[in-house]
Amino acid sequence: MNKQLLSCSLKIGKQVAVVKASVATDGVDQQMDFSFYDWFKKLELQLIGFLAGNTLIDVIPSVSDTRPIRLISGDIGPFEAGVPCKVPIWTAILMKRKHNCHIVMPKWMELEELKKLLASEAENDGLAELPDHFFEICHMLVRDATDDIYDVEAVKSHIQDIYDKRDAKLRTSAIAFLSQLLETTAARAEANGRTGN
């Protein structure tokens, strides 16, 4: 049996990933679609963003307020101007929009640390370990706190480079997995054809 993978593409939509593969087996072209509906139904981008927004980050308030903000998850504050404190990212962004604070970038979002993460990603065949909600937090802070980021264009460039390297690894891995799956499926079909099952 002569089998050849003609093409393979991965399309990721808002809630679904579809892999389309074109395979030639003994000169006969077959189209195969693989969908991962269950995975992406559960991984709603809004939920991931919500979880990332609850990550604590340091802010330096520019105003004082002795009254804490009472939330179900716990109290935030009180705030003293110039004294760093930890708040959820969503709170930091709201305070930033009202010009009530400066956001202190996480250590891992400093340019030198991003260079190390990029080098680690390039050196590893697999995916390098990143801080929790890395891309979501970077997106929120680059969008809403650019004036608090030193050398913001270089930071954005390094974040994009890390994303691109990981994306390429995932695509390569998906294609390798699908090629192996196609080979296994074709071998089973051939074996079933010989045994008459």
pTM of the model as a whole: 0.69
Q: In the numeric block, which tokens belong to residue 143?
A: 């969008």
Distance separating alpha carbons of residues 126 and 78, to the nearest angstrom: 44
Q: Write the DSSP string, 154-166.
A: HHHHHHHHHHHHH
Q: Is residue 189 part of a domain?
A: no
What are 66's two structure tokens? 């002795």
**Is 28 contained in some domain?**
no
What are phi and psi for residue 13, nearest 5 degrees? Answer: -100, -165
CATH of the domain at 75: 3.40.5.50
Cis peptide preceding 78, ω within 30 of 0: yes
Q: Is residue 119 part of a domain?
A: yes
For residue 190, being part of any structural domain is answered with no
CA 88/CA 57 separation, integer angstroms: 6
3-state class of 34 per DSSP? strand
The answer as to whether 68 is a domain residue is yes
Distance CA 1, CA 24 (A): 10
> Domains in the chain: how many in total?
1
User: Which residues neighbour 123 within 8 Å (Cβ) at sequence distance 6 or greater?
Assistant: none
Containing domain of residue 108, as a range?
Answer: 45-167
Phi, psi angle pair for 79, to nearest 5°: -115, 140
For residue 69, the surrounding DSSP H or E stretch is strand 69-71
Is 27 part of a structural domain of the chain? no
* pLDDT given for residue 150 in this prediction: 93
Which pLDDT score, from 0 to 100, does residue 21 have? 52
Run of H or E including 18: strand 17-25
pLDDT of res. 7: 47
Q: What is the pLDDT along the chain (197 residues), one digit of tens a residue?
A: 444 444 444 455 444 445 555 544 555 555 555 555 555 555 667 778 888 899 999 999 999 999 988 988 889 989 999 999 999 999 999 999 999 999 999 999 999 999 999 999 999 888 999 999 999 999 999 999 999 999 999 999 999 999 999 998 988 888 888 888 888 887 787 777 776 55
